[in-house]
A = this chain, B = another copy of it.
Amino acid sequence: MKWSRKHLLDIQSLSAEEIVAVLDTARSFKAVGERSIKKVPALRGKTVVNLFIEPSTRTRISFELAAQRLSADVINFTAEASSLKKGETLKDTARTLEALNADIIIVRHSATGAPHFLSRFLGASVINAGDGAHEHPTQALLDVFTIRERKGRIQGLNVTILGDILYSRVARSGIWALTKLGAHVTLCGPSTLVPKTFEQFGCRVTHDVEEAIRDADIINLLRIQHERQRRSMFPSIGEYISLFGLNKARMASAKPDALIMHPGPINRGVEIDSSLADGDRSLILEQVTNGLAVRMAVLFLVNGGGSLQSE
């Protein structure tokens, strides 16, 4: 076991060994989800809080189920219903949750660095569930878990990330995890969303989708955020689809064993064709399943690990 951290704030500060420790632990927990009784007592009597100031049903449910399967008590605290409306600061909210003896606080926040900020004064463990356009570490961990499970390794693989790189915390965390584990990462998308400066992270940057796909072992698509991006970042959804949307014709030029990933929820017919999303080269639903196992592993590890004895 290489893990001794109290928090999971980002991928950037993790070593390759720590990432692998999460992946190995997640493998054990994945088996729990396949059993008839999907429950282990590892976190019984512990209190886990989902502090979601930026709402996300999918990620919240994944963490909630992960905590339940570890037998923890889970509380959901979302911005809509919260006293943040009354002007309470994030710091006061978090310290209040800690005063309720919360053991682990899972934070999603639109502000970059919110989880790091909380970790500096909280005694509870903090897990970053997405902060601004900065990092989304459990997404990156489930992605590399999925790749390793399917391809047997990360080292030396060609992984292409396609879409909005500039504003994507999924992309940032993914780049860190993949490069630390020895993958060759290619970033592709409109030049407004994929600036050349990303080369400094050890990635290849291209705006030519055929070039990006050609040698890829994994094509990881990012969600196009209609609302925000359409306005200023590219002329139209139609143009994005025609230039960068993944379809059968484009996929035909990829390697025969290239696989497709997407963090979801997908825009069918935008960043990916329906037939590809549902095809046997798509890992999209496996990512969801693996996400639960990875989150169980993270909750387990930040709480100090221990034995995995089943109920």
Contacts and interface: CB of A to CB of B under 8 A. Distances in A.
Given A75-B65, A226-B87, A267-B87, A286 B99 contact: yes
Interface in A10-63: 33-39, 44-47, 55-58, 61-62
Interface in A262-311: 264-268, 285-286, 288-289, 292, 311
Interface string A59-74: 0011011001100010
A66 to B, nearest CB: 9
Contact of A68 (B58, B73, B285): B73
Interface stretch (A77-85, A108-116, A195-203): A77-85
Most chain B CB atoms below 10 A, which of A46, A55, A98, A101: A101
Given A38-B46, A73-B65, A75-B64, A88 B265 contact: yes
B264 A96 contact: yes
Contact of A289 (B36, B99, B285): B99
A89 interface: yes
Given A81-B57, A83-B265, A37 B45 contact: yes
